[in-house]
Amino acid sequence: MMRYIIGLVLIALIATLFYNKVYIPKTTFETIKPTVGKIDVTVSGIGNVGAKNIYNITAQSGGKILELLTDEGQWVKKGDLLIVMDGVDLEEQLEVSLANLTKARYELVAAKSELENQNAQNALLEVTYNRYLKLKNKNFASQSEFDKVNTDLESSKANVSSSLSHINSAKAGVIIAEKNIKVIEAKINRLKVYAPLDGYVISKEVEVAQDVTPSSIIFQIVDPKTLWVKTKIDERISANIRLGQNATITLRSQAKKPYTGKVKRIVSVSDAVTFEREIDVAFDIVTEVFFINEQAEVTIALKSYENMMKIPSRVVVQENGEIGVWIVTNQHVKFKVIEIVAQNEDEIAVSNLDKSTQIVVPNKNKKTLSNGMKIHL
């Protein structure tokens, strides 16, 4: 008899322990109530830092690099000297062309002076010719004397024509020398490359003393005004994104320092594989240091709702294909479908709950909830 009594006591003790240590904890749930306030509807995506305008800086002439006056990670101002190329013998060629120009100018002066002398001599011979023509007509001069004067005049005219040719040749020599100088000066100017804008150097592709062609990229410079994050947003949640909407950008390297920005471009063609749309979000204020292709998280503010009844997203569950919450009535739970007005990643605004509604916070470590189930609070 005593054994039965002891057995019953043990069974009662075990049942009590199970009830208090297992059943009660497994059926005791945290509950919350809806709150009234503002809810900001946002969409988020992961992307990479890029820029609309990235300039490839190349040498304007092929050859060896003498100097590189900037480097990756440095800011440059428009007009800053970036690259100096080796001109080989261009300076000597310029000196020769300058000497040729001086020579051509002297030759032009000499040719003009020669023409002046020829013109003076020609004028004198014309006077003589006219005088002898009158004398010949009066038989005061012989034919041979007249012929000699005439020959001298024709020879003088030929010399004038020759002098004019010398002048034209000298002028052409001046023009050729001047053009040669301009060509060489242009080549010398192309030996130096200047920054086309205020920007940030993101890459240096060559080193000093390296030979390059005119098409070789030496530096890449980003226009900081066009810096943005290229992010991909699922088509299902991207329909309400508009140009100019405010956004927050969080760089992976600066997780505690979010930047403000705005939607700058919405790419019109979606990715046929991932069903995502590219959204480009520009920085309001450019960071002092940035890294192209760095990962960044973008959150775009779509719309704000005031005085909304809202609940945290963590209490919302799906039951039999419907979205809702577990509510408590007299310590029994019931699944209630919710009518969603707006939502973001953390909160959901609903229209069919009130501030007195007790909502169960689901817990995977607790007993599975079902309609009519009794719970402890």
Residue 299: give its domain's CATH number: 2.40.30.170
Both 253 and 210 in a single domain?
no
- Amino acid at site 278: E
In this prediction, residue 221 carries a pLDDT of 95
Give the pLDDT confidence of 190-204 residue by residue, as tens digits.
888 999 999 999 999
Instruction: State the chain's maximal CA–CA distance in angstroms.
Output: 189
Per-chain mean pLDDT for the chain: 85
Both 240 and 107 in a single domain?
no
In this prediction, residue 1 carries a pLDDT of 60
Both 117 and 129 in a single domain?
yes
Give the pLDDT confidence of 139-187 residue by residue, as tens digits.
777 787 777 767 776 777 777 787 788 888 888 888 888 898 888 788 8
Instruction: State which of 305, 320, 337 marks the end of a domain.
Output: 305
- Is residue 134 predicted with pLDDT exceeding 90? no
348 by Cβ neighbours in 10 Å (0-12 / 13-18 / 19+) ranks as: buried
Both 58 and 206 in a single domain?
yes
- Is residue 20 predicted with pLDDT exceeding 60? no
Residue 334 lies in a domain: no
Give the pLDDT confidence of 21-37 residue by residue, as tens digits.
545 666 788 889 999 99
Nearest in space to 107 (alpha carbons), one of 49, 53, 165, 50:
165
Q: How far is CA 77 from the centre of its chain?
A: 16
Residue 58 lies in a domain: yes
Q: What is the DSSP letter of 72?
A: T
In this prediction, residue 328 carries a pLDDT of 92
Q: Quote the percentage of the chain above a pLDDT of 70.
A: 92
Both 109 and 242 in a single domain?
no
Both 233 and 278 in a single domain?
yes
* Residues 6+ positions from 322 with CB-CB distance below 8 Å: 337
Both 246 and 275 in a single domain?
yes
Nearest in space to 249 (alpha carbons), one of 238, 235, 233, 260:
260
Both 162 and 296 in a single domain?
no
- DSSP secondary structure letters along 9-50: HHHHHHHHHHIIIIIHHHTB--EE--EEEEEEEEEEEEEEEE
Both 48 and 65 in a single domain?
no
Residue 311 lies in a domain: no
**Residue range of the domain that includes 209:** 54-81+195-221
Both 109 and 67 in a single domain?
no
How many folded domains does the chain comprise? 3
- Is residue 238 predicted with pLDDT exceeding 90? no
Both 99 and 141 in a single domain?
yes
- Is residue 2 predicted with pLDDT exceeding 70? no
In this prediction, residue 18 carries a pLDDT of 47
Instruction: State which of 258, 284, 305 marks the end of a domain.
Output: 305
Both 124 and 163 in a single domain?
yes
* Choice between 247 and 148, residue whose per-residue pLDDT is larger: 247
Residue 37 lies in a domain: no
CATH number at residue 207: 2.40.50.100
